[in-house]
Amino acid sequence: MAHTKMQLASLARSLQAKLNNEARRRGVTADVIRKQYIFTVFLSRLFSPEPQAPWVLLGGNALLIRTGGGRFTQDIDLARESEWASSNDVRAELQSLADASADRDPFTFVVVAVEPHSEPDPFDYGAKTAKARVQALLGAQVFDTFTIDLTERRHLDAPVDQVPLRAVIEHDTLSHLPSVPTTPLENHLADKVCAMYERHGRDGDSPSTRYRDLADIVRILDAGPIDTARLKEVLDRESGRRRITLPSRMEAPAEEWRIAFPRQARTFAEYSSKLYELDASLDETRPCLDPILSGKRTSGTWVPEKRAWSD
């Protein structure tokens, strides 16, 4: 249904008011909530047509729809289940998917460009990647712009999880949201644990400074059940590919974390103040991860409501 200029202007004002209110409630900037809102609208376009698009949601947005909050992202990460022929083909496919469900909302999405970004890959995942630039228009006005990091490999060896999109605000444009294919929770967790203990630099003498990974691990452990065997399998594979040896228990990656982590934790959106100290956050992860890292647990399911393993 076409909207008049007056209707679109009114919609833009009401949306901004809701986004501002939600930002104040969460203690973040309105731009952050605005970005998550338009991501949800775009992803609902992408994954509404049947049969479902040959893409899988990765990264921060895949984690965000599981946890409902926490770390907000500035872009979208998608992986294609099979190879693409060219950047133009990818752009055309994404544009077609975005257009197919255009009656869901009053926005117009324009996939402006897709640029290849193939680089050497030290983890043997395959190097073919690209970056898409997308404009979201409300009438003739640019509502937002964002990028999508694309890869042609899923980095998965298990069926994807279908996870419902979450509405960041209550609004008609976010009604009847579809489920989207995402990486299994065990994959998210293994990636964060390995990234936390990965070493950098030419001689591998620089510890990770990705302090947010520990906060993400805490959030993942509250997000849903985790299978022991699956987690152990992915941890072994990821640590092997990254050529790292994981510790036998959750510990500080380096002594400098004891000073740097609390400072950074205070800037994390929706992160409990009782977890600002490094040991407090590590203690939060140990009931789940220490038995896996030590090899003492080889079966069972992590139950987040009980914060305990169940056989």
286-304: pLDDT as tens digits:
999 999 999 999 999 999 9
Higher-pLDDT residue of 189 and 121 is: 189
In this predicted structure, the answer to whether residue 71 has a pLDDT above a threshold of 80 is no
Distance in angstroms between the alpha carbons of the first and the last residue of the chain: 54
- pLDDT one-digit tens code per residue, 155-170: 556 678 999 999 999 9
Q: Hey, what CATH topology would domain 5-182 get?
A: Nuclear Transport Factor 2; Chain: A, (3.10.450)
In this predicted structure, the answer to whether residue 154 has a pLDDT above a threshold of 50 is no
Q: For position 155, what pLDDT does the model report?
A: 54
Q: For position 201, what pLDDT does the model report?
A: 85
Q: For position 82, what pLDDT does the model report?
A: 84
Q: For position 68, what pLDDT does the model report?
A: 76
Q: Would the CA dihedral through 168, 1, 133, 30 be positive or negative?
A: negative
In this predicted structure, the answer to whether residue 123 has a pLDDT above a threshold of 60 is no
79-83, 97-101, 248-252: segment of lowest average pLDDT: 79-83
Sequence-distant (≥ 6) Cβ neighbours of residue 18 within 8 angstroms: 169, 170, 171
In this predicted structure, the answer to whether residue 118 has a pLDDT above a threshold of 70 is no
Q: For position 288, what pLDDT does the model report?
A: 98
Q: For position 202, what pLDDT does the model report?
A: 81
Round the average pLDDT of the chain to a whole number and report it.
90
**Cis preceding linkage at 51, omega within 30:** yes
- pLDDT one-digit tens code per residue, 207-249: 999 999 999 999 999 999 999 999 999 999 999 999 999 999 9
Helix axes 87-100, 30-46, angle to 10 degrees: 90
Residue 185 banded pLDDT, cuts 50, 70, 90: very high
Task: Please give the model's pTM, rounded to 2 decimal places.
Answer: 0.85
In this predicted structure, the answer to whether residue 75 has a pLDDT above a threshold of 90 is yes
Q: Where are the domains of the chain?
A: 5-182, 185-310
- Burial label for 213, CB within 10 Å (0-12, 13-18, 19+), is buried
